[in-house]
Amino acid sequence: MKPTTDAGLLLAFGAHPDDIEFGCGGVIARETRNGRRVHFVVCSRGEAGSNGTPAGRTREAKQAAAVLGAMIEFVNLGGDAHFEVKPQHAIKLAAIIRRLRPSIVLTPSVVENQHPDHVCLGRLVRDAARLARYGGLRELKRQRPHGIGQLFFYAVSPEAEPTDHGRVLVDVSDPEIVATWTAAMAAHASQMRTRNYGELQLARARLNGLRAGLGHAIPLFPGDAIVVDSLVALERAARRF
């Protein structure tokens, strides 16, 4: 039986059908196992990719979300490799935030040295989280404003990890979590034809874990300073002095 939690919805955005699973799938597996509701928003069908078809990649994304215990929906921000940072896209994502009312939002980092869609989406989600709070925004008048608790960036590749942010390491060492995450990545079989991205992500998590005395860990990068009610939540560090 899954542990229960009163934590709010976790909303994860991905530019392409596999980004969430590869970038932070272990975090998702841990959260859903702990009873948190998780919702994916995928903003293209991977139509510009070298492998797979839009229909096939959509099926893979749905299968991976089911493995992780998450709900999933797709939105169009102009198509794979055509993302742009513009108000109408940020407002479209803000409408999703108002509809789902998450407490935590995950989105790709805004580091430039990666797929440009990841960078654009990270900026759009950051803007959308702010716009979702504005009660006077004409396009969203029919929905109640909503302020999220925290925005975290995730890195789909090592090169996408921010160096100017703090980081939070999420312990995903439990073998069941690793197995679930691995199965979710394996669902994207079309993307494994030229490179084993699943192995790459597990190796990254293993290295992060070893640095912190854990089996596997995934870094998240907070958009704003984290506020806690007690230092108890901060007693565990990656380094033991």
Please count the other Cβ atoms lying within 10 Å of the Cβ belonging to residue 132: 28
Q: Which pLDDT value is given to residue 108? A: 98
Distance CA 11, CA 211 (A): 28
> Six-digit token pair at 146?
């909503």
Full DSSP string of the chain = -PPP-----EEEEESSTTHHHHHHHHHHHHHHHTT--EEEEE----TT-SSS-HHHHHHHHHHHHHHHT-EEEE--SSSTT-----HHHHHHHHHHHHHH--SEEEEE---SSS-HHHHHHHHHHHHHHHHTT-TT-GGGTTS-----SEEEEE-SSGGGS-SSS--EEEE---HHHHHHHHHHHHT-GGGGSS--HHHHHHHHHHHHHHHTTSS-EEEEEESS----SSGGGG---SS--
Write the single-letter amino acid at 86: K
Quick one: pLDDT at residue 209? 96
pLDDT of residue 5: 53
* Residue 18: both structure tokens together: 């596999």
Q: Are 151 and 105 in contact (CB under 8 A)?
A: yes
**Sign of the C-alpha dihedral, residues 185, 210, 230, 150?**
negative
The identity of residue 51, as a single letter, is N
pLDDT in tens, the chain (241 residues): 344 456 899 999 999 999 999 999 999 999 999 999 999 999 999 999 899 999 999 999 999 999 999 999 999 999 999 999 999 999 999 999 999 999 999 999 999 999 999 999 999 999 999 999 999 999 999 999 999 999 999 999 999 999 987 999 999 999 999 999 999 999 999 999 888 999 999 999 999 999 999 999 999 999 999 999 999 988 888 887 7
Which residue ranges form the domains of the chain, and what is each CATH number?
10-234 (3.40.50.10320)
